[in-house]
Amino acid sequence: MDSQKIDLLSLYESELEEFIISLGEPKYRAKQLFTQMHRGIAPADMTNIGKATKQKIDERAYYSLPSIRRKLVSAIDGTVKYLFELCDGNCVESVVMKYKHGNTICVSSQVGCRMGCAFCASTIGGKLRDLRASEILGQVMMAQNDTGERISNIVMMGIGEPLDNYDNVIRFLRLVGCENGMNIGYRHISLSTCGLVDKIEKLAKEDMPITLSISLHASDDETRSEIMPVNRKWNVSSLLEACRKYYATTGRRISFEYTLIASKNDSVASAERLAKVLNSALRPKKSDSFPIHVNLIPVNPVEETGFAASGKQSVAKFAKTLEDNGIRATVRRTLGADINASCGQLRREEEKRS
Ligand code: SAH
């Protein structure tokens, strides 16, 4: 893709207006373009725009959507996993999960990841590049067009660390909520982070009522630093302090992800410590109402990492210990078990093949 050209699908409607005016075209064209582009129609295929205008647009700008390189559909629960190819040949994954309350898509934010979490498939080859806003949005549009069903919720839990691609992710979050676009509001969006404290503080000031998910995975610095290198820069207490401030500023609840790894972080003692650490950092006073919710996920074994998932009994005991200590805990239901639906694994397979 010619990098000198403007990426039309990444523009806000107001920026598209400026662009259209700069071409000497009437302002109303921007809305026509925006609405149709966000439905998946390329400017070249629009029937209400003339040839001369199309040519002018094409000289200065481009429109591109990811293409479906592979698609797997779970026979068990209808979960759909896409391997999308971007315009430079790189691939990312998205997963569409079907719930009673609507369809949720899990999107990627980077090609690869540089956070280095020891259990994660997405980070094995490092980060190749950030996705542009249009490339994150394109995953939602393509999945909705391909499944033919409305996507009502988004989780940013695919490949990449969304807060490590801050500006593009914020732009995506604003674009996907546009009334003339996908119209998926902040309250239907969750963003998951491994804990970039400076960016969590910045996000708190954006006035975006999304749900924040924190990948905690351990409550003591020694274990967390071992499995999540980011903890060496921002430790557990600084992360939880950022969470406390985030809640105080936004009033939005935060959920914590905790991946259970056999004999690493899944003992009853680990659960007790987790409850104690969360309670004392987030609810220092008895009257504090910080809603704490922990999502327990038995680790998905990735060939290269050598970690094993906790057994059913340890998971249940862990959850009960948290509940006994005033922390709501749920065990994440596994969807798409037959299609290897957890993130990073399909892209990894494809890389090994070629
Ligand atoms: N970078 C972001 C979002 C991507 S990962 C983050 O760290 O939150 C989405 C979630 O899946 C994170 O909680 C991550 O820690 C978890 N995860 C990654 N690999 C996993 C695996 N093999 N098994 C279970 N959960 C995993």
Distance (angstroms) between ligand 1 centre and the Cα of 191 equals 12
The answer to whether residues 181 and 133 belong to one domain is yes
Which helix (H) or strand (E) covers residue 282, if one does? helix 268-282
The domain that holds 27 is classified in CATH as 1.10.150.530
Range of the domain at 11: 6-62
The answer to whether residues 47 and 71 belong to one domain is no
The answer to whether residues 105 and 251 belong to one domain is yes
pLDDT bin (cut points 50, 70, 90) of residue 342 is low
The answer to whether residues 302 and 216 belong to one domain is yes
Please state the atom number of ligand 1 nearest to the C-alpha of residue 228: 15
The answer to whether residues 176 and 57 belong to one domain is no
pLDDT in tens, 114-154: 999 999 999 999 999 999 999 999 999 999 999 999 999 99
Provide the number of structural domains found in the chain.
2
pLDDT of 4 reads 86
The domain that holds 115 is classified in CATH as 3.20.20.70
- Token pair 């009673």 is found at 100
Distance (angstroms) between ligand 1 centre and the Cα of 88 equals 26
Residue type, 330: T
The answer to whether residues 185 and 55 belong to one domain is no
Give catalytic residues, as residue numbers: 93, 343
What pTM was computed for the model?
0.95
CA torsion angle 60 65 69 71 (round to 10): 180
Q: For residue 217, is it within any domain?
A: yes
Ligand 1, atom 10, lies closest to the CA of 157
Of 97, 139, 234, 259, which is best to mutate to test ligand 1, by the most ligand atoms within 8 angstroms of its C-beta? 259
SS3 content of the chain, % helix, strand, coil (to 5): 40, 20, 40
Q: Which of 86-100, 215-229, 280-294 has the lowest average pLDDT?
A: 280-294
- Token pair 């903890």 is found at 231
Reduced to 3 states (helix: H, G, I; strand: E, B; else coil), residue 235 is coil
pLDDT bin (cut points 50, 70, 90) of residue 305 is confident
Pocket of ligand 1, beta carbon within 6 A:
117, 119-120, 157, 161, 192-194, 215, 257, 259, 297, 299-300, 302, 342
pLDDT in tens, 180-235: 999 999 999 999 999 999 999 999 999 999 999 999 999 999 999 999 999 999 99
Ligand 1, atom 24, lies closest to the CA of 299
Distance (angstroms) between ligand 1 centre and the Cα of 157 equals 7
Average pLDDT over residues 332-351: 70
